[in-house]
Structure 1
């Protein structure tokens, strides 16, 4: 009887986290002590933050998730036709791999590479896919890909399978444009001649629609934003009182971005461990997230500045969201 190699047991997991945890904590503290206090948005996603973000994605006001999903549903076959055969599908920030699951039957990749910062969750998510698709090789890479991306050796194991990077959900908007270009250039460096990037981007629209998406009437986004203070308390042995701050989301027309803030309700002193503190004035704010919005032409230009050409894009009937397929220039 012939022996058939199947993708069973736990998928291979590679760890590429090079920054020590203490260095990350120092970086977080420096951000909070600078004149404009800031918390990196990656600290949103502890267990409670993930639960709240899942709830946000189901809100009537939060259009990006359902709008992107509708574009994928309507245009999945057309998108798949533009992708190379026998590809390596690289899901950046894959989480539970929910969006990738939707694509597997249509694209039939030679390999799935899931990239995420949460190792145990990543491996369990890939293990579930491996059970459902036993002939598909699944590999996980644990890294903060927003800071560092080096998959060259891994992708070279299947040099005949072009990489397709999948970055949905408009997360590219969380980068300032110059940082988005740096990140996209790192992706471009992996593409060779035949690689592709399939990426979602939120498009500019009416201010009221944008602000409601980040400040819903039921207060879920406010709770999500305030929860980051509890994460900081754990990371830095700090004593933030979330009840002394309030959530704010405003669209900056000049910069074409949503700015998420936590505003101090009163003058207060926050301690970070035993030896460091900061005084916050009433109405002083902590910046927690940018979410940049683009026109189609602006996003094409961003791709071009990164060494990528927009081969095709798809949008919804209202032009609220764009899905862009890019190839190396």
Structure 2
């Protein structure tokens, strides 16, 4: 394999650094060092500071020395780094990705892309030509099907450690506080990350066990990715979800039958519970029958209809 010369390495590092310098906000040398490290370009802070100083002399980079740590950005009306240039469409895609995939991307990858996210936001600013792309951000939204709730607080360090361990298939040491406030220290094998409404859940295996569990990320008080890798077992996150495991079930399917008023049940004709759902019109009510996974979430859903649902029967399929 051809080995890059020190000159090539320096040029590539300079390009990676320049791509991450924003136009309107400021970024510090420490933040740039961390972003570069997350992208695989590990350098000490002093090296980054020297490179920034050199680049600032020859390019239109502004260094704010009024307060420490110093902040860097492209000077007003400068062309910035034109390699690569994000198109308006690419900027829109990145802006949407930043909003909706913030917790679902590996955190080291997300950090390494902060320069691109900043460039995308800059390209969509009110003074840019990307009027239609900027307006699109106000035209689309993911809305909740239940009562909106604020997301629980997840420690940023915990999220980063969990994400990095999941990405690299490394054992994770955690301190977990369950719903009854019992605190346990465990070593787990991270297998999947799922967002359910405002909450994040980690699918994992505890050391010494061969079954999967779901842990609420906001209940992890401490987390540390170990240097020890594991061989990822056969695990299908999609099937895990289909089995109702994030709905607090055990994958047990039942034939569910219930009667619901037409006012409350009309939406089930448009969005069925299952492919095999059947509906019998009973005048003012519908009788619904469908094969579903029996979960606590299903029970909460049925109870939410109050007196508008009656004659609920769960028939075992065993």
TM-score bucket (shorter structure): under 0.3
Normalized against structure 2, the TM-score is what?
0.24
Q: Which has the higher contact order (CA 8 A, sep 6+)?
A: 1
User: Which of the two has higher C-alpha Rg?
Assistant: 2
